[in-house]
Structure 1
Amino acid sequence: MSSLTEDVVRQRSKSGRTCLIYSGKVYDVTDFVSKHPGGVDVLEEHAGQDVTEAMHSSETHKHSRYAFTMLDKYCVGKVQNTSDEDLCLMGKPNAKYFYNRQEGYTDPVDWNKPVLPQIPMLREKYFEWTHQPTDLPLRLFHSDFVEYFSKCSWWMVPMYWVPVMLAMIYWAYTGLSEHPDVWLPWLAGGIEINVSRMPYLFVLGALSWTLLEYVIHRWVFHLKPPTQYPIILQLHFLLHGQHHKCPMEKGRLVFPLVPANILAYIVYSVVSLVCPLLMTLSFISGMVLGYMIYDLTHYYLHHGSPSLTYFKNLKRYHVKHHFEQQHKGFGISSKLWDYPFNTLITE
């Protein structure tokens, strides 16, 4: 292991590399900066410094054991005049963070091959494995064509869904202007749905999305799948398992258009069973807005550097969901439904 002085570490950081000192070792995390769950600013602020205390401080964010496992691979040397014995002693308080390496842990998945076909072999290990985050690059499919469409850039969300939302609003507005809908016609003549009620339906749709977001995240995405059905394990991994395993993958943070359209069709079909067409369009257009806010907020929480207090707190909250308390904190665009369902992260 090469020895570096603290001055050399600082000079490297000034020359464009992002180097840190932790427990007597030097880490070059330049390639990790853009992935850092706490945001780019945090690592850049501490470049060239000893972050041993900071990484265990609860004032900013107390790092989970997975953070230290990821950090280990970026080690490039030790601080000069630090003996191997000193390193051992310095590392003792944090020994549990390196349990994978120390206990000879071997990942059951070969990351040099497509991961999805390997998921069924995990069986009982699957759920625990998906909740051990990594920053390794993820490939799902053998086919380049299918792999391409398994990813989605954040800007595709508004590019696709804003026109869809506006089309539904226009269709509902022009239709209701000519002939109002009647909801529940068998109930004392029904309730007239005209243009003046559209804003209320739109807002109600957006608020309803926040509940649907919570329900899907908690009771679908975080449902422990039955291990005896390989296809269900693979489906679960496609829907959400991959995100918890590889939370720093930029291309896998927003819903690809195909599954998003399937979800939209299911929701539309359910609402249309109890509401007339134009009322349904008014309501669903609001849900589309809620969905866009959710998906873009989710991306921003992972890869943005918020300046507003609300988003700063929400980012910390979501990081805790990923790395500390994955059985809580199911609200993403807001904490609203974590309160009544008693899943609020408070620590």
Structure 2
Amino acid sequence: MVAQEEFTVDLNKPLVFQVGHLGERYQEWVHQPIVSKEGPIFFGNDVLEFLTRTKWYAVPLIWLPVVCWLLTTSLRMGHSLSDVALMASLGIFIWTLAEYILHRFLFHINTTSYWANTAHYLLHGCHHKHPMDGLRLVFPPAATAILCIPFWNLISLFTTPSTTPAVFGGGLLGYVMYDCTHYYLHHGQPLYNPAKHLKKYHLNHHFRIQNKGFGITSSLWDIICGTLPPEISAKKG
């Protein structure tokens, strides 16, 4: 009986509907990065392809005005400037935890089935396969808008109607800081700490130990949860 030939991804063709066929070999394939600024083709459809590409500056341009509106909403509802600043700081802190949880437990989930592989590639796998693709490094605004709904509902569970906007606004500001920082760590050349340290820390996650170092804007939750890369753990010791 002749063994069936293993599926091979053709990098010159649209990738999204190919990668699922890798099955159990997908995780190994997606964590072997191709270091090139040339982004891959995702879809044969031009509209879908366009929707997957986002300039980094779209993130602050679109979301910072929303942050300002949310913070001023809590101000208009009777809270002082210092109260709003405190609530926004809480929102940023909550975002740092969300950033860690999403990156560790969702973005790095192990998948083997066709549709799970496909979804993972769209969500985060493409970034590990093509880490220097500048047009697919930040979240598309439409995807962010959809994700805002469950985050708003979650925050509203433990806040009041007048504090929810400021806390959520702080979380959204944390997201903007995260996405801009993430882009800079890949495409900037920081000369001084903490940016220089963060770049080394994040590239270590991409090219050396991909199951450690899930923090982007800081290593706080990696320290707390025990997911610091070994050499960094040694330095901390």
Secondary structure (helix, strand or coil) at the match of 2:225 reads coil
Q: How does 1:136-175 map to 2 (within 5 A)?
A: 137-175=39-77
CA-to-aligned-CA distance 1:252-302 (integer Å, 9 cap, x gap): 111111111122111001112332222111101111111111101100000
Q: Which amino acid aligns with 1:292?
A: V
Describe how 1:243-282 pairs up with structure 2 within 5 A: 243-282=127-166
TM-score, with structure 1 as normaliser: 0.62
* Per-residue CA distance 1:100-159 (angstroms, 9 max, x = gap): xxxxxx982111110001022111111111100013531111111111111111100100
Counterpart for residue 118 of structure 1: 18
CA distance in 2, matches of 1:308, 1:107: 45
Partner of 2:234: none
Select the structure that is richer in strand: 1
Q: CA deviation at 1:309?
A: 2.0
Q: Tell me the alpha carbon deviations over residues 42-89 of structure 1, each in whole angstroms, 9 at most, x when there is no partner.
A: xxxxxxxxxxxxxxxxxxxxxxxxxxxxxxxxxxxxxxxxxxxxxxxx
Q: Give the AA of the match of 2:149.
A: Y
Query: What is the alpha-carbon distance in structure 2 between the residues aligned to residue 196 and residue 335 of structure 1?
Result: 28
Residue 312 in 1 paired to residue 196 in 2?
A: yes
Per the TM alignment, residue 195 of structure 1 is displaced from its structure 2 partner at its CA by 5.8
Aligned to 2:34: 134
Find the structure with the greater CA-based Rg: 1
Contact 1:176/1:195 (<8 A) preserved? no
2:109 match: 223
Q: Distance in 2 between matches of 1:346 and 1:112?
A: 37
Q: Within the alignment, does 1:290 sit opposite 2:192 as a pair?
A: no
Match of 2:3 in 1: none
- Find runs of 4+ consecutive structure 1 residues off by over 6 angstroms: none
Structure 1 residues 172 and 237, CA gap change in structure 2 (3 angstroms): same
The gaps in structure 2 that reach 5 residues or longer are 1-5, 232-237
Aligned-pair CA distance for 1:239: 0.7
Q: Are the aligned partners of 1:328 and 1:344 in contact in 2 as well (CA < 8 Å)?
A: yes
Q: Residues 281-338 of structure 1, C-alpha deviation per residue, up to 9 Å, x if partnerless? A: 1101111111111101100000001022211111111111001100000001111111
Contiguous gaps of at least 5 residues in structure 1: 1-105, 178-193
Instruction: Find the aligned partners of 1:274 and 1:337 in 2 and give their Cα distance.
Output: 22
Residues 1:176 and 2:78 aligned together: yes
Contact 1:161 1:292 in 2 (8 A): yes
Higher relative contact order (CA 8 A, sep 6+): 2
Instruction: Please tell me the root mean square deviation across aligned C-alpha atoms, in Å.
Output: 1.6
Cα distance in 1 for partners of 2:151, 2:177 equals: 17
1:199-210 matches, within 5 Å, as: 199-210=85-96
Partner of 1:24: none
The alignment-based identity, stated in percent, is 41
1:35-74 equivalences under 5 Å are none
Distance across 2 between alignment mates of 1:203 and 1:209: 10
Structure 2 counterpart of 1:342, one-letter code: G
| Greater mean alpha carbon deviation, residues 327-336 or residues 337-346 | 337-346
- Quote how far apart the aligned CAs of 1:196 are: 4.7
Match of 2:116 among 215, 232, 239: 232
Residues 7 and 21 in structure 2, CA contact (< 8 A), matched pair in contact too: no
